[in-house]
Structures are given as C-alpha cells and as structure tokens.
C-alpha cells in the first residue's frame, strides 16, 4: 500500500462462477465427457470490473485464461490479477494505524435484472496470503450492495470486499520515535552542562536542527492531507516546542550567569523565593550540588602588610596637626619604618613637622584610602557575582525539573494515544 498516493496495489486470485444455459451437454452422448477447459475469450464472460481501480487510461481488461465448464453449464473462471485501487488513507494513529480499503466489484454493462451478482462466502480467503514486511492483512469481508442511479430505474448490484490491514510499527518505532526521544534527552542533558563550558547552546541547537530534519523525513513518507494532523505530527510538534523551550531556558540561565547587570546584588524577593538566605530541608535537597556562595577574603597588598585601623587613625591625626602616639607606623620595610618612626618622634618632640615628610605622608594616606575603597568595592562586586551565580544555578535546577516533567508528560500522552 502506497500511503503517499492513497493507492493500494494487491495481487489477488479472482474466482468467478456463473451458469450459462448455452454451455450444457449430456456426458453420455460424448463418451462420459464431464469437464471442459476452454479459453476465456471463446465464451461469454461477465464484465466484472473494479470500480475504484486506478489506471492511466480507462479500465484494464481481464486476462485471457482458460475457463472450466461442467455439463450443467456451470462455469468457473479463476485467474490471478494485480489490482490498483484508490483508497482513503487514515494516518491519524501512524505508525500504529489500521487501514480499511474497499474493493468494489460490479458489472459495467448489465443491470441487476440481466445479471445478478452475489458473493458465495461472507469473507475472502486470506489463509494463503503471502506475508508482507510492512502490512499484516487481518480481515477480508465480502458484502453485497444494490444501488439505484439517476440514469436508470434498474438496480445495479455489486460485491464489495473490505480489506483490513494493520501496519507493522517496528520499523517506524526504531527509526523515528527512538531518535526523537534521544534528541529530547540531549536537550535535557544540556541543563547538566556547566555554563562555563560554552557548549550548552550548541547541544540544544543541534538537537533542534536534528529533530527538524527527522520531521522532514517523516513528512516525506506520509500522504499530504489537511483534514487532520496525525499523532506523529503532533509528537514532533511537541518535541520542537520542548526543544525551543529548552533554548529559551538556557538563554535565561546564561544571561543570569554572564549578564552585565550582575554588579548589583539580586533582588530580595528573588533570593527569598530561591531560599538563598533562609535555607530549608527541601531546598537543601532540591538544590543539592548547586553552586554555593563562599566568603570573600582578599590577600594582603604587595607590601605584605595589612592596613590596621589604629594606624589609619594615627596617620589622619598626624596630618591634621593633632599629636598622637602611633603604636605601629605603616611602612613597607624595616628601614623605612625606622626612618618614619624617628622622623615622627622628632617631629612630635619639636612640635613641628617637615613639609616634605608631611607631603609624603599625605600621598601615602590618600593611596591607602583609595586602595581601601577599591578593595571594598571589589569585595561587594565579587559578592554580587557569587550571589548571581548561585541564583543562576538554582534557577537552572528548577528549569531542569520543569523540562523533565514536560518531557515525560509529552511522551506519556503521545504514546498513550497510539
């Protein structure tokens, strides 16, 4: 059966039986002859045609095989024939679909008053039907119908054989559904890829493009119809939506992880929603192995000395002209410390300060103040960056859970409909 052209090609054995009163004889008069085999073209035969046949021009003629005739005038005309019939294909449940194709046989020239047409058996013989790789014939029902047309008042009987076939789905399940599920899992694995690797968007976009190509291949094997959308089309549409959703989620995660707005700390409402400042058992379980903030500590400056608040106050007091005793002068070397200490002590003793030394100390204090402010600003920025990384990591975990639920629901719903 060709799904794309809505056409059935079947190799069938036709069995026609009729009685011809002009072909009777007495076997005793012919030496006991009780059977004749005569070429079909030499005797009258009914013009039985397949009404819904598909041929380039007109109807095909029956083949010229020999007919078997008995003394009472009964004729049996048996011959193999290949029929091409137009059938309406329903692929809503593809590839688990069942196709029903009626084969309508009747006379083209004789009405029911001249030639009656009946079926001898309620079903056709499918016991000796050869096996097919894609289809399995499950039934062949024969029914007689009588029609009246506007052209003629006479009845026109026909016998319709309804061929029921079920598709074997293994091929399509292996080459269509399995790749689609794998591509969806690849999109899911993208959430487990570290954002720093730079391969997140590549994985998800590759899965989306591969799924699009797979959808085009499947669409090429299905008939073109606008009456309905098959389940497999809905499935691929759902997969495309899920992949596009994964791309949108990853864009949000990467923006939170590398965005330029991260110099400011996250909003308090967002931190509360993600349980950053108020941890709980379910949050610890759900966000297990997510990124965690750490305390920001800076190494000492290049001189190896960390500024002491006492020194800072004493330097400011000295520059403002107030006398105070410095417990530990700030210096970068023992020699400079001794020199600075002596100068400071001498100046304290003389109740005056050297202008050159005062200028140098002013520069030192300004540099220390600028370094302190720069270091404090850097600490705040780094803390904000770490908070945003933790926010991105937790939102990534939430998106991972949402995507997993959507993926499971889509597969369960689609496979439940088949």
Q: Are 406 and 245 in contact (CB under 8 A)?
A: yes
The C-alpha atoms of residue 28 and residue 363 are separated, in whole angstroms, by 144
pLDDT of residue 70: 93
Supply the pLDDT for residue 292. Answer: 52
pLDDT value at residue 216 = 83
- What is the C-alpha separation between 381 and 387, in angstroms, rounded? 10
Q: Give the mean model confidence (pLDDT) for residues 24-34.
A: 90
Q: Cα 82 from chain centroid?
A: 40
Compare 321 and 79 and report the one with higher pLDDT: 79
Q: Choose the weakest-confidence range: 173-177, 248-252, 361-365.
A: 361-365
Mean pLDDT across the stretch 401-418? 82
pLDDT mean across residues, the chain: 75
DSSP three-state, residue 371:
helix
Token pair of 200, please? 């997140």
Which of 147-156, 194-203, 271-280, 289-298 tops mean pLDDT? 147-156
Return the sign of the alpha-carbon dihedral for residues 112, 117, 122, 123.
negative
pLDDT higher than threshold 60 for residue 2: no
> Residue 377: pLDDT above 60?
yes
**Within 13 Å of residue 12, how many CA atoms lie on the same side as its CB?**
19
Instruction: Please give the pLDDT value at position 309.
Output: 44
pLDDT for res 254: 81
What is the pLDDT at residue 71? Answer: 92
SS3 string of 274-289? CCCCCCCHHHHHHCCC
DSSP element (H, E) containing 159: strand 156-167
Q: How many residues does the chain have?
A: 418
Do residues 215 and 274 make contact, with C-beta atoms less than 8 angstroms apart?
no
Q: Band of the pLDDT at 94, cuts 50, 70, 90? A: confident
Q: Which of 206, 205, 232, 237 is CA-nearest to residue 221?
A: 232
Distance CA 166, CA 137 (A): 6
Predicted confidence band of residue 56 (pLDDT cuts 50, 70, 90): low
Distance between CA atoms of residues 87 and 1, nearest Å:
9
Reading across the β-sheet that carries 135-147, which strands appear in turn? 48-50, 98-107, 156-167, 135-147
Check whether 37 has a pLDDT greater than 60: yes
Q: What's the predicted TM-score (pTM) here?
A: 0.61
The answer to whether 390 and 291 are in contact (CB under 8 A) is yes
With beta carbons less than 8 A apart as the criterion, state whether 80 and 13 touch.
yes
Lowest mean pLDDT among 77-86, 332-341, 370-379: 332-341
Write the DSSP string, 123-148: B---TTPPP-SSEEEEEEEEEEEEE-
Residue range 143-169: mean pLDDT, rounded: 89
pLDDT category of residue 263 using cuts at 50, 70 and 90: low
Please give the backbone phi and psi of residue 48, each rounded to the nearest 5 degrees, phi first: -85, 125
Summarised one tens digit per residue, pLDDT across range 380-402 is 766 777 777 777 778 888 888 88
More confident residue, 326 or 368: 368
Query: What mean pLDDT comes out for the span 340-359?
Result: 56
**77 near 45, Cβ under 8 Å?**
yes
Rounded distance between C-alpha atoms, residue 81 and residue 315, angstroms: 113
Does residue 169 register a pLDDT over 50?
A: yes
- In the predicted model, is pLDDT for residue 114 greater than 70? yes
pLDDT in tens, 270-284: 677 776 666 667 666
- The predicted-structure confidence for 288-341, as pLDDT tens digits, reads as follows 655 554 444 444 444 444 444 444 445 445 445 544 444 444 444 434 444 444
123 or 220: which carries more pLDDT confidence? Answer: 123
The residues, any chain, with a CB within 8 Å of residue 1's CB and separated by 6 or more, are 7, 8, 9, 87, 89, 99, 101, 134, 135, 165
Pair 138, 164: CB distance under 8 Å: yes
Higher pLDDT, 158 or 187: 158
Q: Are 183 and 158 in contact, with CB atoms under 8 Å apart? A: no
Q: CA 13 → CA 19, 70, 78, 80, distances in Å? A: 20, 21, 7, 4
| CB-based contact 166:193 (threshold 8 Å) | no
Tell which wins on pLDDT, 182 or 259.
Answer: 182
φ and ψ at 236, to 5 degrees?
-70, -35
């Amino acid at each position: 059966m060709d799904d794309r052209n809505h056409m059935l090609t079947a190799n069938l054995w036709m069995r026609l039986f009729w009685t011809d009163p002009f072909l009777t004889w007495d076997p005793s008069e012919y030496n006991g002859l009780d059977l004749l085999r005569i070429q079909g073209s030499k005797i009258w035969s009914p013009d039985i045609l397949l009404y819904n046949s598909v041929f380039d021009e007109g109807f095909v003629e029956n083949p010229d095989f020999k007919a078997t005739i008995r003394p009472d005038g009964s004729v049996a005309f048996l011959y193999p024939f290949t029929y091409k019939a137009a059938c309406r294909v329903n692929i809503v449940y593809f590839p688990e679909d069942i196709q029903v194709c009626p084969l309508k046989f009747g006379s083209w020239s004789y009405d029911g008053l001249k030639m009656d047409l009946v079926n001898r058996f309620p079903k056709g013989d499918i016991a000796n039907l050869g096996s097919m790789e894609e289809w399995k014939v499950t039934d062949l029902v024969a029914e007689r119908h009588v029609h009246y047309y506007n052209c003629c008042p006479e009845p026109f009987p026909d016998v319709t054989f309804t061929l029921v076939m079920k598709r074997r789905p293994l091929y399509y399940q292996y080459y269509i559904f399995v790749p689609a599920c794998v591509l969806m899992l690849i999109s899911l694995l993208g959430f487990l890829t570290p954002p720093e690797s730079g391969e997140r968007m590549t994985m998800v976009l590759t899965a989306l493009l591969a799924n699009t190509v797979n959808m085009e291949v499947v669409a090429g094997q299905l008939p073109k119809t606008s009456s309905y959308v098959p389940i497999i089309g809905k499935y691929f549409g759902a997969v495309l939506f899920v992949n596009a959703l994964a791309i949108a989620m990853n864009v949000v995660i990467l923006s939170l992880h590398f965005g330029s707005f991260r110099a400011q700390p996250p909003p308090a409402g967002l931190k509360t929603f993600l349980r950053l400042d108020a941890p709980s058992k379910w949050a610890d379980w759900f966000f297990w192995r997510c990124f965690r903030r750490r305390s920001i500590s800076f190494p000492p400056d290049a001189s190896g000395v960390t500024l002491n608040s006492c020194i800072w106050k004493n330097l400011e007091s000295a520059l403002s002209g107030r006398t105070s005793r410095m417990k530990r002068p700030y210096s970068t070397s023992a020699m400079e410390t001794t020199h600075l200490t002596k100068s400071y002590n001498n100046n304290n003793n003389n109740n005056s300060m050297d202008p050159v030394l005062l200028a140098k100390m002013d520069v030192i204090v300004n540099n220390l103040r600028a370094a302190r402010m720069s270091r404090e600003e850097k600490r705040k920025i780094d803390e904000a960056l770490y908070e945003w990384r933790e926010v991105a990591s937790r939102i990534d975990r939430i998106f991972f859970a949402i995507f997993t639920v959507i993926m499971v629901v889509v597969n369960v719903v689609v496979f439940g409909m088949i």
